[in-house]
Chains A and B, each alone.
Chain A
Amino acid sequence: GNSVTQMEGPVTLSEEAFLTINCTYTATGYPSLFWYVQYPGEGLQLLLKATKADDKGSNKGFEATYRKETTSFHLEKGSVQVSDSAVYFCALLGGGSQGNLIFGKGTKLSVKP
């Protein structure tokens, strides 16, 4: 079945450091891939998405590229801020009639000033 594996956290960085959160997936067909962010005590916010191989999703300085050959969708940001502290979830939406998102376990990011 479909699954998502994320690097385990927590990840602690200093402000302006480079961020990478690894995400790999297993899926049949052609899934869409997503990164969601969850701030403390809140729901999930869509951060970025990619719907086909080689697509790059980007938003608020974050980027991720859909790599079919390595079944990966790693999240990157060149210079993190304290306000980026949150939990990040990688997710996939299977193709066809599959309407459910499958999430990774989440990676908690803490950015120190």
Chain B
Amino acid sequence: DAGVTQSPTHLIKTRGQQVTLRCSPKSGHDTVSWYQQALGQGPQFIFQYYEEEERQRGNFPDRFSGHQFPNYSSELNVNALLLGDSALYLCASSLKGSGQETQYFGPGTRLLVL
């Protein structure tokens, strides 16, 4: 049973560029959430996708956008990168309506903005 997968594992970009990160959920899951984890901090919620729509959003600017595909996989896009966007980006999947909605995390994508 495949767990949550993310690609790429590492990425280096320069300020002002755009980046796309990808996530495939755990088999049987239909909901994908994205988190940003700065060095030495706990993860911060970016947004959650279900049924191909953004259902909930954290306190992140519009430069952060996403998409969910019919196969439940998801992308996180960040435009106009800032140095402060350097972080570990974590994807988590869950099953909506399961009563507990436990989130399982992927290994993350480490983004460095120079």
Chain A contacts to B: CB under 8 angstroms:
32, 34, 36, 42-46, 49, 51, 89, 91, 93, 97-106
Q: Binding site of B, secondary structure by majority: helix, strand, loop or mixed?
A: strand
- Counting chain B residues whose Cβ lies within 8 A of the other chain, the interface size class is 20 to 34
Residue numbers in A under 8 Å from B15 (CB-CB): none
Could you write out 10 A-B pairs with CB less than 8 Å apart? A32-B102, A42-B108, A43-B106, A43-B108, A44-B43, A98-B56, A101-B33, A101-B103, A103-B42, A104-B42
Contact of A101 (CB < 8 Å), options: B6, B88, B92, B107: B92
Q: Are A46 and B102 in contact (CB under 8 A)?
A: yes
Chain B contacts to A: CB under 8 angstroms:
6, 31, 33, 35, 40-45, 48, 50, 55-56, 58, 88, 90, 92, 94, 100-108
Q: Are B105 and A34 in contact (CB under 8 A)?
A: no
Q: A32-B100, A43-B90, A44-B90 are in contact. Are A101 and B106 (CB under 8 A)?
A: no
Q: Are B55 and A99 in contact (CB under 8 A)?
A: yes
Q: Are B105 and A44 in contact (CB under 8 A)?
A: yes
